[in-house]
């Protein structure tokens, strides 16, 4: 019977097949809907279809754990370096250590204090309102560079003062030279032990500096101010 229906004319076939369909599936209807612009489903399908033609199907290849670990570490170093180069803080340390690395730099505590400036320095104490000014007892600005190169009270640990444009290079060379680092350590010990000389009385704020100086970094050898240095400073003031 079915073969006979298929061999009939187009008009007869269409009518007969439609009648058969209604008798077999009386509740079934077929409708055609035009594409509606703005449909989220259609738009998402278009985006995925376009992405598939451009990128292809993702391929997953099993890899050893060590390989994945190495790739992640490499990517972490790249991102870390970008953050370090574009950051707003730690610029003084960036001048000395421009490249990030996972191996710690072999600096002792006095060297870290000197490079970061976070220690017994007038500029650091003023930052936290422990001193009302950032001047050293010699009259210059009390930052690490002054104590290391210009201060009259620290002439026993002399380092050559650099020009402003060569200061980053100066820090790199100082912190890579063992003799210079030894002077830095002695300098920090000296500053922590001679606060009354380097930090002249600052009104009511002065006693508070006793609580902030890094006395815990001192070793058994104490470096106190020499009388000749004190006398030299008094002569200059007069």
pLDDT digits (tens, 9 = 90+) for 74-108: 999 999 999 999 999 898 899 999 999 999 999 99
What per-residue confidence (pLDDT) applies to 84?
Answer: 95
Helix (H) or strand (E) holding 203, with range, is: none
Look up the pTM and report it.
0.59
Lowest mean pLDDT among 62-66, 76-80, 122-126, 217-221: 217-221
Beta bridge partners of 187: none
pLDDT of 6 strictly over 50:
no
Q: pLDDT tier at 173 (50, 70, 90 boundaries)?
A: very high
Is 152 buried (19+), middle (13-18) or exposed (0-12) by CB count in 10 A? middle
What per-residue confidence (pLDDT) applies to 32?
Answer: 52
Lowest mean pLDDT among 59-68, 92-101, 226-235: 226-235
Averaged pLDDT score across all residues of the chain: 76
Is 167 buried (19+), middle (13-18) or exposed (0-12) by CB count in 10 A? middle
Name the DSSP letter for residue 106. Answer: -
Q: pLDDT tier at 71 (50, 70, 90 boundaries)?
A: very high
The ranges assigned to domains in the chain are: 63-102, 109-219
pLDDT of 213 strictly over 80:
no
């Amino acid at each position: 019977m079915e073969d006979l229906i298929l061999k009939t004319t187009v008009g007869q076939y269409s009518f007969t097949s439609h009648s058969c369909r209604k008798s077999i599936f009386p509740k079934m209807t077929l409708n055609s809907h035009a594409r509606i612009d703005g449909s989220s489903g259609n738009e998402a399908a278009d985006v995925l279809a376009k992405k598939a033609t451009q990128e292809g199907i993702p391929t997953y290849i099993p890899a050893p754990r060590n390989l994945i670990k190495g790739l992640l570490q490499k990517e972490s170093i790249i991102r870390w370096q970008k953050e370090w180069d574009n950051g707003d803080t730690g610029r003084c340390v960036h001048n000395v250590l421009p490249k990030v690395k996972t191996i710690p730099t072999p600096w002792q505590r006095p060297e870290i204090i000197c490079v970061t400036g976070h220690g017994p320095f007038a500029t650091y104490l003023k930052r936290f309102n422990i001193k009302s000014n950032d001047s050293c007892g010699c009259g210059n600005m009390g930052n690490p560079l002054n104590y290391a190169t210009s201060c009259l009270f620290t002439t026993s640990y002399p380092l050559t003062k650099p020009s402003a444009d060569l200061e980053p290079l100066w820090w790199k060379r100082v912190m890579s030279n063992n003799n210079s680092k030894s002077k830095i350590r002695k300098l920090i010990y000296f500053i922590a032990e001679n606060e009354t000389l380097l930090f002249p009385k600052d009104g009511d704020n002065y006693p508070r500096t006793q609580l902030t100086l890094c006395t815990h970094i001192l070793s058994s050898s104490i470096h106190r101010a020499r009388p000749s240095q004190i006398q030299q400073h008094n002569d200059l003031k007069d």
